[in-house]
Amino acid sequence: MAINLDQIRIDLIGDDERGFDFLSPETLKPLTELALPSRGILSAYLDISPEEVATGQVRLKLKNMAREWLENITDKQERRAFEEEVGRVENYLRYEIREPGRTLVIFSSKPADLWRVFHVPVRIRTRLVWDERPYLRPLLTVMDEYERYGVVLVSREESRFFLFYMGEIAEYSFSLYDYVPNRHKRGGWSQARFQRHVDDHALHHFKSTAEIAARLAERDNWQRVVLMGTYENVAQVKEYLPKAIRERVAGEIPAGIHDSVNVIRDKVLALEQEIERQIEAQRVEAVITAAEKGQNGVLGYADVLLAVQEGRVDVLIVPEGLEHPGWECERCGGLIADILAKPPDACPYCGGPLKVVEDVVDLAMQKVLSTGGTVEVLRGPIRAQFEKEGIIGALLRY
Ligand SMILES: [Zn+2]
């Protein structure tokens, strides 16, 4: 079977079967380009873990957050517009909410003709934002934080392709099926010749599989690749992968070609967590060592936020769930954590006026990302140890 890769569409099956949304820069692009002349877009990030939904906590939290906003919206028309958007979200929570996901993200705006709902498989802090634009930074932050794993499952006759991201998996809707001659209908062929034919065919199949994998890896930005199947088949595919993709192979895992999506997901998840634990341990060790030696690493709010301000952070290291109140400079954007006995009178970086912010950690993460750095959120066992060392840390570029 000749395969013309340009003629087949290879798509992720929309939301996967469990109903999660796979975020990509392309999905969010229309939202990043959207802006109204004045405030009119509601962005809601809501914790929808089962207990929150069952006890009605989600709707209660939405109402409380909406009340806080209303205290600061004085214009009558704007108040009405705001309440209308909140009402849409409330109705959705009451009547249409689906189970999947840890965080429900909704963007709603009648004037912008906007209603987008995302079921995100990871936890994002609950909040409500009313602005001229959709509030995307928390989504962009988690997108950066998780790696995209491409998964190639192969037998001698078939291949299946998956994308694993944020602990969830979706299968590409194209599966390659190469015809292999039936052993019982070999007609006049000699056994040797038949065997050679089957082997040629299998080689061709492994080669096509590698080609498709390489194509998808590039198109969908697979940061790591997992090969699944028997060791023999996986080895064959691996041999045909272009070097750049082969170097991204993070694991080879035994699996059956017809294993369920859930089985595949659980196997990749175990591998991802193992890799993540290793990376976390390495980075924590690196930052502690560097800070001790006074080299390219700092620990603690004061030094880390200074490095953030100077744009020197390569990797910001933060335990999952860390929040800390403080101030943001209205002139230079500098961040100060509330660790002082008395609040500063002015920005220590530029002398500008300060405003109170409820969480400097979140703002620091976004600043690091916007200056080309990355964020390492510690989730594994190393988290507790790191909290003792300095709570927050950063590996520096220079
Ligand atoms: Zn300042």
The CATH number assigned to the domain holding 327 equals 3.30.1330.30
Q: Report which of 332, 319, 318, 311 is spatially closest to residue 396, judged by C-alpha positions.
A: 311
C-alpha 346 – ligand 1 centre gap (Å): 8
Q: What is the mean pLDDT of the chain?
A: 87
Q: Which of 165-174, 191-200, 293-302, 313-322 has the lowest mean pLDDT?
A: 191-200
Q: Report which of 378, 149, 360, 184 is spatially closest to residue 283, judged by C-alpha positions.
A: 378
8 A C-beta contact, residue 156 and residue 94: no
Residues 165 and 67 in one domain: no
- Give dist(CA 312, CA 397) in Å, integer: 5
C-alpha 331 – ligand 1 centre gap (Å): 5
Q: Is the pLDDT of residue 190 over 80?
A: no
Residues 179 and 202 in one domain: yes
C-alpha 392 – ligand 1 centre gap (Å): 21
C-alpha 336 – ligand 1 centre gap (Å): 10
C-alpha 303 – ligand 1 centre gap (Å): 16
Q: Is the pLDDT of residue 15 over 50?
A: no
7 in a domain, yes or no?
Answer: no
- Give dist(CA 183, CA 193) in Å, integer: 12
C-alpha 309 – ligand 1 centre gap (Å): 9
Phi, psi of 262 (to 5 degrees): -65, -40
Q: Which of 187-201, 226-240, 308-322 has the lowest mean pLDDT?
A: 187-201
- Give dist(CA 204, CA 225) in Å, integer: 21
In the numeric block, the tokens 């995100």 are attached to 120
Residues 392 and 306 in one domain: yes
C-alpha 359 – ligand 1 centre gap (Å): 17
Residues 132 and 173 in one domain: no
Q: Answer with the one of 119, 142, 165 that is the final residue of a domain.
A: 142
Q: Report which of 17, 86, 79, 14 is spatially closest to residue 46, judged by C-alpha positions.
A: 86
How many CB atoms are located within 10 Å of the residue 278 CB?
12
CATH code for position 252: 3.30.420.60
- Give dist(CA 241, CA 156) in Å, integer: 16
Q: Hey, what amino acid is at 299?
A: L
- Give dist(CA 154, CA 26) in Å, integer: 29
Phi, psi of 115 (to 5 degrees): -150, 105
First CA to last CA across the chain, in angstroms?
A: 54
16 in a domain, yes or no?
Answer: no
Residues 230 and 338 in one domain: no
C-alpha 394 – ligand 1 centre gap (Å): 21
Residues 179 and 89 in one domain: no
C-alpha 332 – ligand 1 centre gap (Å): 4
C-alpha 241 – ligand 1 centre gap (Å): 50
Residues 126 and 56 in one domain: yes
Residues 389 and 291 in one domain: yes
C-alpha 358 – ligand 1 centre gap (Å): 18
17 in a domain, yes or no?
Answer: no
How many CB atoms are located within 10 Å of the residue 228 CB?
25
Residues 216 and 300 in one domain: no
159 in a domain, yes or no?
Answer: yes
Residue pLDDT, tens place only, 39-68: 999 999 998 888 888 888 899 999 999 999
C-alpha 349 – ligand 1 centre gap (Å): 5
- Give dist(CA 251, CA 253) in Å, integer: 6
Q: Answer with the one of 142, 175, 204 that is the final residue of a domain.
A: 142
Q: What is the pLDDT of residue 122?
A: 86
8 A C-beta contact, residue 195 and residue 181: no
Q: What is the pLDDT of residue 1?
A: 47
Name the band, by pLDDT with cuts 50, 70 and 90, for residue 37.
very high
Domain count, the chain: 3
C-alpha 335 – ligand 1 centre gap (Å): 8
Helix (H/G/I), strand (E/B), else coil: 113: coil
C-alpha 290 – ligand 1 centre gap (Å): 28
**Pair of tokens at residue 309:** 């301000």
Q: Is the pLDDT of residue 176 over 70?
A: no
Residue pLDDT, tens place only, 335-356: 999 987 777 889 999 999 999 9
CATH code for position 105: 3.30.960.10
C-alpha 361 – ligand 1 centre gap (Å): 17
Q: Which residues contact 351 (CB under 8 A, 6 or more apart)?
A: none
Length of the chain equals: 398
DSSP state for residue 96 in the 8-state scheme: I
Residue pLDDT, tens place only, 223-277: 999 999 999 999 999 999 999 999 999 999 999 999 998 899 999 999 999 998 9
Q: Which residues contact 153 (CB under 8 A, 6 or more apart)?
A: 159, 160, 161, 162, 228, 229, 255, 257, 259, 264
pLDDT (mean) for 307-317: 95
Domain that residue 233 falls in: 146-259
C-alpha 308 – ligand 1 centre gap (Å): 13
